[in-house]
Each structure stands twice: as C-alpha cells, then as structure tokens.
C-alpha cells in the first residue's frame, strides 16, 4: 500500500504517537454521542441512534455508570432532616451514650456556628458552594457573632465533668468565648483572634478583640505588629490549605491526639469530616474495629464516616443538642456577654499599634469594663497599697479593741498549754516521808515530787528544753494569690484557664521594649563571644539522612 501524501513526510515515531490519539478522540466522540442519546426519551430516539446504542454496549454501560456516580455525588450534597419522631428517638440514644461515656470527645465543624450568622463551607448555601456556582458570597461581620446553643450546651457538659475535650475546625473562637478552657480545646485550623510570637520560647500568644488576619494569606502570616517582649513580627494562627500547623496553642495537636486515644465516645457536630478524615490519629485507626470508641455523627449532609458510625443523626445541631440536654436533665446556660472571657484577657493595642488594623473590634459591655477595672485594682491593692493612712488606721484599731469583748468558752479554758516537752515525761512520786512537811503545813506539793527530772538543783544535767507546739489552727497561712481574677471569680481556678493577660505587655511601650531587647541582645552577644573564646570549638555533627539530627541505621545483610 502506498502511503498518503500527508503521512509521507511524518516520521515513524510521530506516526506511532498519533494513532493512539486518534483512537482516543474517536472514543471520546462516541461517548458524547451516546450520552446525548441516553439523555433523550426512548420515544424521541431515531433508528440510527438505536443502532448506535446496540453496537456500543460497553460505552453505554460506562455512560450509565458515570451518571450514577454523578447522581450519588449530588445526593450527598443535599441536606436531609430526619422526621420529628425518628429524631427524638435518635436523640434519646445519643443521650444514653453520653451518660454512659467515661471519656467524651467532641469534634465540631462550621455547622455549629451557622446559627451565629457565620456561613459554612460545603453546605447548600456555603461559601465554597456559592463560589463554584459563580454567586456572590456576601459580606459577613464575624465580630457580631456570639456563642450558639450548641456552644453553651458543650460548656454545660464540660462543667458537669462529662465532656473532656473538644477538637474544633472553626476559626471563629466561639468555644473559648463560651467558657471552654484552652487546655481542653484544640482549634486545629487556628483562631482568628489569636496572634503568636514564634520567636519567644515558649511561643507567646496575644488574644485580641479583632480579626488579626487582615494582612495575612497563604504562606504569609505576618500581621504587622511586634512582640512586646522580643520585638519580632507577630503571626496569625490560621492554617491554610497545604500548610501544617505546629503551634502548642491554639492548635494543640498533642492534646487532640491524646484525647482521641482515650475517648470511648466520639461525637461529631456540624462537620462534613472531609478534612478530619485525613487525620488517622483522630479515629483510633491503629486499633481493631471492636476496640475503637463509639462514633456518633450529627450533620445534615453525608459524611465519609457514616458507614462506620454507631448512629447518624440528620438534624440541626442546636435542635439536637437541646433535645439531648433535656434527656440528660441538664440546663443549657444562656450566653452572658458581660462574662465573656475575651473581654478580660484580650491584650489591647498600644498607641503606636492603632494604625495596624482597620477591622472592627468587639464591643465591650459596660459591666465587663467596670469588672475588669475592679480586678486590676484588686491585683494592685494586693501588691502595694499606697493610699493607706497609718495613723488613722491605728486609731481605728484601738477604738475597736476597746469596744469589742472576746467571749470565753469552756473550750478556751480547757485548751492545753502551748508549751510542751519534746519528749513525753512520766510522773513518778518521791519517797513519802519527804512530803510530810508539806502535808503538815497544808502546802501544795512542789513539782520535784512528781517531776524530779525538772528540778534545777538536784537534777540539773537532766533538764530538757521544752518545745513550743504551734497550733496550725491558730496560725493562718496566706492564701495563694490567683493568677487571674476573672478565672478565680467565675471558674474557681487559681490558674488562668485562657490566655493570661500580662500587665507588662500592655503597660510597656513597644519602642522602649525594642530598645531594651536590642541592648539585651548586644549583652548576650558579648557573653556568647566570651564563652566561645574560653570554650574549645566542637566538631560539627552529621545531621543525618533526614537532615534533622537523625541518622537512620541500616542493618547489613549477612
């Protein structure tokens, strides 16, 4: 056969690569024709189209299989709610599981914050769904958001010692504002109100009243503000796609993995689990199936963990948690803005930092302002009270001592003497004839007849020095000063449960701190130079195969 004019000048390698492309193009064209024919009704199909369908049976099967997959994906995106009777029955089962749980861990997603006017991502009206459809996502002011019924229900479970830990995908910071301490919370995608100094060891967190992510983006996390201690650039705590968060707070992966290992009941609220499913340490995948914790899911849409869940509830989080708390007999507290911990622990901007942001701040309630000032005054009065008038107070104390009378009781009269001997002394009597003079004169017996070892004349070497016994009830030890007045007053904890507000961070100007940091660095540099001059130089260590100080050991084959 003679080659055509077009194929005559094509190289052999080029012609070999063109033939598969032509076959692939023909198959794609046939797939399009078959799919268009299948979209028509059987009545409107022509004989030629019917003949094409009969001759291309494998392509028809492939087109039908693709269509089933598309329908399945669309069905998973739909939001489905259970009927009221079925929902009530499922809530009873969930309440029974929570009451039996010894270690309850909750995973939360954007679905629990939709009631606070914060849109979700993959819902029917979510941010990413509207972006895929080419619609406007709108403007959402997150500074007006407040903890929802679900947030406060979780706080009630925590106060009842039922809930042990929360792993949240949300960046809105509403779990902290509801009262959950940061030691029992992992915000694995960060917190929009927290910026961190990574240069300080340990890292230094700054809890703000505004969104700190105004100037940040993927792989660019500088907020434009400086650390009050080391003057390095502060960074936000948000984890974007393709990034890995390693901050101890607010991300706290160590606490999340530890809680997931100990959990016997895992409750997922308002999360599609498409991101959390990629973290195997959250699902106890290293254990057999029968030794893993029970999984309960509350979501309107399909999740990839539905098949492995003990119970799936198709309902809204606020409605489900209200029913569950009623079955448990626990009351859901109302959110009180005046007791929001963010208003007592947030670090205010210094005058030089006011131009670093244009985001609106959270409006502080008047009660919170007065209480915060009162707490500051109390902390200052405990340290130094400069307004104390000594003369007036002494006069008042004398008048009070004259007026007050201390009543005595039988217990006061019968209390033992505070002076006791270091070793217990046994009483033994002297000879009887030595007591005759005292009996004839009616005098009481001297101590030497009962405790001769205490007499200074005859038994001087045997005298033992008495030990003064201090009654612990009489001596009051000073109460430990709480680290945070708000946590002590509202939570009864002497330790700060949130991000502790340091007075040095707020009162010190950033310029002065920067100069002090430079001076300290210069002093440290001179000290290091002196030490290096005196100490011998150490040989450089091999960083290892990974370049991280680890050398992987291989065993040689025998």
The domain boundary, picked from 345, 365, 386, lies at 345
The domain boundary, picked from 316, 345, 374, lies at 345
Please write down the HEC assignment for all residues of 195-252.
EEECCCCCCEEEECCCCCCCCCECCECEEEEECCCCCCEEEECCCCCCCCCCCCCCCC
Domain identity same for 265 and 304: yes
Question: Which of 189, 221, 228, 345 is the catalytic position?
Answer: 189
> Is 233 within the bounds of a domain?
yes
pLDDT at site 295: 96
pTM of the model: 0.68
Residue 185, classed as helix, strand or coil, is strand
Domain identity same for 205 and 149: yes
- Residue-wise pLDDT for 387-408, tens only, equals 444 444 445 544 445 554 455 5
Q: Sort 208 into a burial class: Cβ within 10 Å, 0-12 / 13-18 / 19+.
A: buried
pLDDT at site 238: 93
CATH number at residue 197: 3.40.50.1220
pLDDT at site 324: 97
Lookup: tokens for 166: 């929360």
- Residue-wise pLDDT for 274-291, tens only, equals 999 999 999 999 899 999
Which residues belong to the annotated binding site for Zn(2+)? Answer: 197, 200, 227, 230
Domain identity same for 169 and 252: yes
Element (H, E) at 5: helix 5-8
How far is the C-alpha of 362 from the C-alpha of 143, rounded, in Å?
6
How far is the C-alpha of 545 from the C-alpha of 505, rounded, in Å?
42
> Is 524 within the bounds of a domain?
no
Domain identity same for 45 and 111: no
Low-confidence ranges of the chain (pLDDT < 50): 1-3, 380, 382-394, 397-400, 404-405, 413-430, 433, 453-454, 457, 459-460, 462-463, 503-517, 519-520, 523, 527-529, 531-556, 558
Domain identity same for 36 and 103: no
Domain identity same for 113 and 71: no
Domain identity same for 68 and 156: no
Residue 104, classed as helix, strand or coil, is strand
Task: Look up the domain containing 290 and give its range.
Answer: 84-134+142-345
pLDDT at site 366: 77
> Is 194 within the bounds of a domain?
yes
Which residues belong to the annotated binding site? Answer: 197, 200, 227, 230
The total number of structural domains that make up the chain: 2
The domain boundary, picked from 310, 345, 380, lies at 345
> Is 362 within the bounds of a domain?
no
pLDDT at site 481: 82
290 belongs to the catalytic site: no
Domain identity same for 242 and 327: yes
Domain identity same for 147 and 191: yes
Taking each helix axis from N to C terminus, what angle separates 12-39 and 57-77, rounded to the nearest 10 degrees? Answer: 60
- Residue-wise pLDDT for 321-367, tens only, equals 999 999 999 999 999 999 999 999 999 999 999 999 998 888 888 76
> Is 403 within the bounds of a domain?
no
* Omega of the bond leading into 462 within 30 degrees of 0 (cis): no
pLDDT at site 246: 86
pLDDT at site 57: 86
Domain identity same for 156 and 204: yes
> Is 129 within the bounds of a domain?
yes
> Is 130 within the bounds of a domain?
yes
Domain identity same for 90 and 159: yes
> Is 39 within the bounds of a domain?
yes
Domain identity same for 195 and 264: yes
pLDDT at site 517: 43
pLDDT at site 117: 75
């Amino acid at each position: 056969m003679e080659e055509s004019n077009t194929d005559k000048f094509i190289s052999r390698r080029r012609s070999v690569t063109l033939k598969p492309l032509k076959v692939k193009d023909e198959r794609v064209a046939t797939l399009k024709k078959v799919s268009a024919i299948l979209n028509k009704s059987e009545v409107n199909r022509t004989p030629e189209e019917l003949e094409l369908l009969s001759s291309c049976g494998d392509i028809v099967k492939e087109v039908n299989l693709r269509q089933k997959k598309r329908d399945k994906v669309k069905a998973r995106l739909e939001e489905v709610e259970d009927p009221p009777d079925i929902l009530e029955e499922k809530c009873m089962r969930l309440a029974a599981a929570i009451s039996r749980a010894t270690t309850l861990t909750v995973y939360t997603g954007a679905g629990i914050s939709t009631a606070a006017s914060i849109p979700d991502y993959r819902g029917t009206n979510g941010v990413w769904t509207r972006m895929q459809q080419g619609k406007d996502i709108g403007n959402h002011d997150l500074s007006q958001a407040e903890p929802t019924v679900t947030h406060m229900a979780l706080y009630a479970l925590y106060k009842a010692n039922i809930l042990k830990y929360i792993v949240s995908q949300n960046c809105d910071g509403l779990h902290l504002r509801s009262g959950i301490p940061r030691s029992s919370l992992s915000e694995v995608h960060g917190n929009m109100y927290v910026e961190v100094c990574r240069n300080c060891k340990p890292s230094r967190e700054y809890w703000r009243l505004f969104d700190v992510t105004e100037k940040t983006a993927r792989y660019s996390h500088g907020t434009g503000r400086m650390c009050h201690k080391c003057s390095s650039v502060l960074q936000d705590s948000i984890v974007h796609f393709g990034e890995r968060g390693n901050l101890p707070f607010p991300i706290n992966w160590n606490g999340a993995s530890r809680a997931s290992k100990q959990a016997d009941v895992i409750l997922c609220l308002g999360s599609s689990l498409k991101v959390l499913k990629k973290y195997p340490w959250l699902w106890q995948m290293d254990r057999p199936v029968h030794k893993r914790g029970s999984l309960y899911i509350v979501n309107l849409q399909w999740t990839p963990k539905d098949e492995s869940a003990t119970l799936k509830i198709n309902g809204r989080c606020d409605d489900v948690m209200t029913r569950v708390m009623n079955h448990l007999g626990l009351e859901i507290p109302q959110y009180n803005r005046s007791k929001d911990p963010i208003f007592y622990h947030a670090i205010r901007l210094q005058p030089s930092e006011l131009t670093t942001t244009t985001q609106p701040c959270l409006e502080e309630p008047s009660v919170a302002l007065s209480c915060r000032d009162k707490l500051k005054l109390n902390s200052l009065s405990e340290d130094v009270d400069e307004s104390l008038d000594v003369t007036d107070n002494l006069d008042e104390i004398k008048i009070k001592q004259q007026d007050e009378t201390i009543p005595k009781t039988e217990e006061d009269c019968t209390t033992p003497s505070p002076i006791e001997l270091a070793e217990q002394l046994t009483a033994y009597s002297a000879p009887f004839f030595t007591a005759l003079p005292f009996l004839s004169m009616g005098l009481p017996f001297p101590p030497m007849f009962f405790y001769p070892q205490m007499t200074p004349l005859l038994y001087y070497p045997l005298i033992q020095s008495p030990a003064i016994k201090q009654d612990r009830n009489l001596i009051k030890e000073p109460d430990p000063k709480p680290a945070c007045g708000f946590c002590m007053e509202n939570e009864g904890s002497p330790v700060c449960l949130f991000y502790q507000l340091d007075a040095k961070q707020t009162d010190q100007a950033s310029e002065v701190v920067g100069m002090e940091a430079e001076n300290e660095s210069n002093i440290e540099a001179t000290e290091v130079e002196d030490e290096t001059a005196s100490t011998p130089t150490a040989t450089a260590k091999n960083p290892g195969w990974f370049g991280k100080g680890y050398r992987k050991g291989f065993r040689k084959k025998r």
